[in-house]
Amino acid sequence: MATATFNSKDQDWNNGSTTYWFEISGTDYGTGTDFAEFEGELFGVCESGSEVKILDNDGAPLTAGDRLTIAATNCARVTDEMRAE
């Protein structure tokens, strides 16, 4: 099972987005047909209004629906407490 540890939060006041950074480790089997392995990799969950994107460690959006995006979404959960920080 993959686990995500909250690392930090970045706010971009110019475009109104907030990115929550998580370190993900372990294996996620929740993609349905494949699995994704993580070895302490950093991923971001970028919220801008109602839009949510998964970002790689360089801040580039991952392709929606691919196994890394699905796996990161499965374990990197942004909470209200994180939003309030």
Average pLDDT over residues 35-63: 93
Confidence at residue 68, expressed as pLDDT on a 0 to 100 scale: 86
3-state secondary structure of 24: strand
- Cα angle 68, 83, 51; round to 5: 50
Average pLDDT over residues 10-25: 96
Q: Is the pLDDT of residue 33 over 80?
A: no
Beta bridge partners of 25: 3, 39
Give the Cβ contact number of residue 37 at 10 Å: 12
Distance CA(38)–CA(48), nearest Å, equals 26
Banded pLDDT at 54 (limits 50, 70, 90):
very high
Confidence at residue 67, expressed as pLDDT on a 0 to 100 scale: 83
Average pLDDT over residues 21-42: 86
Q: What is the pTM of this model?
A: 0.89
Q: Is the pLDDT of residue 36 over 80?
A: yes
